[in-house]
Chain A
Amino acid sequence: MQKKISNLPFSGTPEQEEKLKAVIARHKNEKGSIMPCLQEAQEIYGYLPVEVQTMIAKGLEVPLEEVFGVSTFYSQFSLTPKGKYNVSVCLGTACYVKGAAAVLEQITKNLGIQPEECTADGLFSLTACRCIGACGLAPVMTINDEVYGRLVPEDVDGILEKYKSGNA
């Protein structure tokens, strides 16, 4: 999968860096340590900017190319920051044949961002995800852990408004 690089600048804190160093130290001598390091780094920073991947590569003494190879391979690893609310639209087959593309289009219109991007105020990020298995409710989107099913494009503005106005 082709991945987008973050459209926002890196803003890591010294506390986060301390935590990351501890993670690297813990995994350093394990076999196949890149994946667990990336997984935990993503928990610390919320995403994997190239600055963080560079720290992991130096810490594990492996080429950055190898770290980047793993982080770009798996779709769970995000190279762009997530908003306070992550809107995820399922584009699995069941949702697709029931009109998920039109729902996604309405969301990009409303938020002014494309999939894999984050709004400048950090409130929303958008992803087009693989099947989440709630095919009985197709088409489906999730906002953080909340699931919205049987959607039509007209529902989108109302649902997003709840989050914008802080009533979610």
Chain B
Amino acid sequence: MYRSNVLVCGGTGCTSSNSELIIQRLKEEIKAQGLEKEVNVIRTGCFGLCALGPIMIIYPEGSFYSMVKPEDIPEIVEEHLLKGRIVKRLLYQETVVDDQAVKSLNETPFYSKQKRIALRNCGVINPENIDEYIAVDGYKALGKVLTEMTPQEVIDVMKASGLRGRGGAGFPTGLKWSFAAANAADQKYVCCNADEGDPGAFMDRSILEGDPHVVLESMAIAGYAIGASQGYIYIRAEYPIAVKRLQIAIDQAHEYGLLGKDIFGTGFDFDISLRLGAGAFVCGEETALMTSIEGKRGEPRPRPPFPALKGLFQKPTILNNVETWANVTQIILNGPEWFRSIGTERSAGTKVFALGGKIKHTGLVEVPMGTTLREIVEEIGGGVPDGHTFKAAQTGGPSGGCIPASEMDVKIDYDNLTAIGAMMGSGGMIVMDDTACMVDIAKFFLEFTVDESCGKCTPCRVGTRRLLEILNKITSGNGTLEDIDRMEELCYYLKENSLCALGQTAPNPVLSTLKYFRDEYIAHVTEKRCPAGVCKALTNYVIDPEKCRGCTLCARNCPVGAISGSVKVPHVIDTQKCIKCGACMEKCKFDAISKR
């Protein structure tokens, strides 16, 4: 038994800010103090509060240290672990009540509103040790299913739970399974979509890094329910830590007889292989993903036939995303009524969001469906930093839309988000403040979809490019009001005629920004002005003669010599020469330079 357990986050965010070195230093320092038999160092998955990484928790005290640096380690080991004195200056300040008291992490605004089902083991167990997973009821659901339930009963439970696909579209999971179960075939497949391609989304990666076994266990449960003996996990090669931990988990599950032949002595066989993606956004679409596993260009196929009838290698296949899988074991163990009691009428359970952009607490949050955007942004996320104001949140990545400030009190679930022109998507949530230009944001996403359109169908291949051209025309100051109408018309054409979800949803960023921020588009075309000052062609830097003291600092820093004026006389910017780099505005000490 160890006296103290030190949990250090080994997720991608914290690893990028050097948590590996911190683990190494901790071990060295603990050894130097002769504490290696008393203190245990564990590398866990993501705690969620990535903005404050690297993160470390020391139990039994539950002290939450944030933004730890390698040079802090000797102090933590000597003071906290040796002498039992908590190092206050390194604690997450929200947990410090006053000089005497420290409160639990779960009482801080970031965690108190969360309910962790899919993320329950992330930051709690060592993901590279199957025993720790088993200790928190791991593989118990698989055991229950194989020994006490018929395949039909498993499907009935999944249907009754109301679980809907967390990859974005929200299709009822139990129904999907029942279709595949009903189609007889000599071979069926269970697939996991871990090709998390939405920029700004990292929920699935964190689950795979923090709790890989839950995905394996749930896939085996589905294999039993539909009658499949082989599973594939299609994962992005950009997630090396997740790939490594999944492979370790698969090997350990084999060793324990929890994957492979005759699992639990019940005669049920199930195995799982990894397939690495090679970086194509469209491969997150289910039929494209299956084509890619087959080793071809990952182009989507027309549906029907749906994968439940003819999927991978033309056999009945089910595909669910990582977060969906992370809910399955808990539904089996706690029952469908328990799951339904969380969330809203038509969207049961919780949803994980990856909070990013202009927000204080960037990181991962899991909240019950029905939580409002205001609660997520202002209470959990800590609001918009640096004195700026909230403008919009973008959900669903390149397929989604923007939620403006006026809709912040909408209860977030699948149907409500669709109704206001956004979508749940896989859970990326990018917060934007008043410095964001919504036309520029729409252009950013269109550049993405133009790049990622696979080219198979004409509406998407040509339509996205034409949309981008119109957006470029508008942001460069050459747009007309007719362009806005033409663009809108083209959006609906793309929605109706594209082959797969990539093209069908590609216009969403344009449509939702048009819906809520049409005045910005109009300012770009009629006044030739970018209200946020982002679009360079429409922005001019000007010096306010009232504020300028003639200190010459801006003129000296201008890389192209566009600023003229003599000492103690207000300066002037030559807009013909100006390249709009913004160096002058940054340097000015008197706040005299602004963008117009």
Please give the residue numbers on chain A whose beta carbons come within 8 Å of chain B beta carbons, in ascending order. Answer: 1-2, 31-36, 39, 69-70, 73-77, 91-94, 96-98, 129-138, 140, 147, 149
Contact = CB atoms under 8 A, between A and B. Distances in A.
A91 B12 CA distance: 17
18 contacts: A33-B295, A35-B296, A75-B280, A76-B278, A76-B279, A91-B199, A93-B356, A94-B200, A97-B357, A97-B441, A130-B279, A130-B281, A131-B198, A131-B202, A133-B13, A133-B238, A135-B13, A135-B50
B365 to A, nearest CB: 12
Given A70-B296, A93-B200, A97-B436, A1 B452 contact: yes
A149 B298 contact: no
Contacts of A132: 12, 238
B444 A75 contact: no
A3 B396 CA distance: 27
A79 to B, nearest CB: 13
B294 interface: yes
Interface of B: 12-13, 16-17, 50-51, 53, 196-202, 205, 237-239, 277-281, 294-298, 354, 356-358, 362-363, 394, 397, 428, 430, 432, 436, 441, 444-445, 451-452, 454
B297 A75 contact: no
Given A130-B199, A138-B362, A35 B295 contact: yes
Contacts of B363: 136
A75 B200 contact: no
Given A70-B296, A93-B356, 19 more contacts: A39-B278, A73-B280, A73-B297, A73-B298, A74-B277, A75-B279, A76-B278, A76-B279, A92-B199, A93-B357, A93-B397, A94-B199, A96-B444, A97-B441, A130-B279, A131-B201, A133-B12, A135-B356, A136-B356
A73 B279 CA distance: 9
B279 A93 contact: no
A149 B53 CA distance: 12
Contacts of A92: 199-200
Contacts of B281: 130
Closest 4 CB pairs of A and B: A32-B295, A136-B50, A74-B278, A92-B199
A97 B13 contact: no
B200 A137 contact: no
User: For A76, A129, A136, which residue has the most chain B Cβ atoms within 10 angstroms?
Assistant: A136
B188 to A, nearest CB: 18
Contact of A134 (B16, B279, B451): B16
Given A32-B295, A130-B199, A135-B354, A94 B279 contact: no
Nearest to A132: B238
A148 to B, nearest CB: 9
Given A32-B296, A93-B397, A137 B13 contact: yes
Contacts of B428: 93
Contacts of B237: 76
B6 to A, nearest CB: 21
Contacts of B294: 31-32
B16 A147 contact: yes
Contacts of B357: 93-94, 97-98, 138
A46 B315 CA distance: 36
Contacts of A70: 296-297
Contacts of B239: 133
Given A32-B294, A93-B200, A94-B356, A134 B280 contact: no
Contacts of B436: 97
Contacts of B432: 97
A147 B202 CA distance: 17
Given A75-B280, A133-B238, A98 B358 contact: yes
A98 B205 CA distance: 22
A153 to B, nearest CB: 9
B295 A36 contact: yes
Nearest to B199: A92
Contacts of B297: 69-70, 73
Given A74-B298, A130-B238, A132-B238, A137 B356 contact: no
B65 to A, nearest CB: 16
A93 B278 contact: no
Contact of A77 (B17, B278, B295, B454): B278
A18 to B, nearest CB: 24
A36 B296 CA distance: 11
A34 B444 contact: no
Contacts of B445: 93
Contacts of A136: 13, 50-51, 53, 356, 362-363
Contact of B200 (A74, A77, A131): A131
Nearest to A105: B581
Contacts of A131: 198-202, 238
Contacts of A135: 13, 50, 200, 202, 354, 356, 362
Given A92-B200, A93-B444, A140-B16, A74 B280 contact: yes
A32 B312 CA distance: 13
Nearest to A154: B586
A73 B354 contact: no
Contact of A93 (B50, B430, B452): B430
A97 B442 CA distance: 12
Contact of B13 (A2, A93, A134): A134
Contacts of B279: 74-76, 130
Contacts of B278: 35, 39, 74-77
Nearest to B433: A97
Nearest to A152: B586
A70 B362 CA distance: 36
A131 to B, nearest CB: 4
Given A135-B202, A136-B356, A138-B362, A31 B444 contact: no
A109 B54 CA distance: 32
Contacts of A134: 12-13, 16, 50
Nearest to A74: B278
Contacts of B202: 131, 133, 135
Contacts of A133: 12-13, 196, 202, 205, 238-239
A60 to B, nearest CB: 11
A128 to B, nearest CB: 10
B197 A130 contact: yes
B319 to A, nearest CB: 18
B362 A94 contact: yes
Given A32-B296, A134-B13, A137-B16, A97 B358 contact: yes
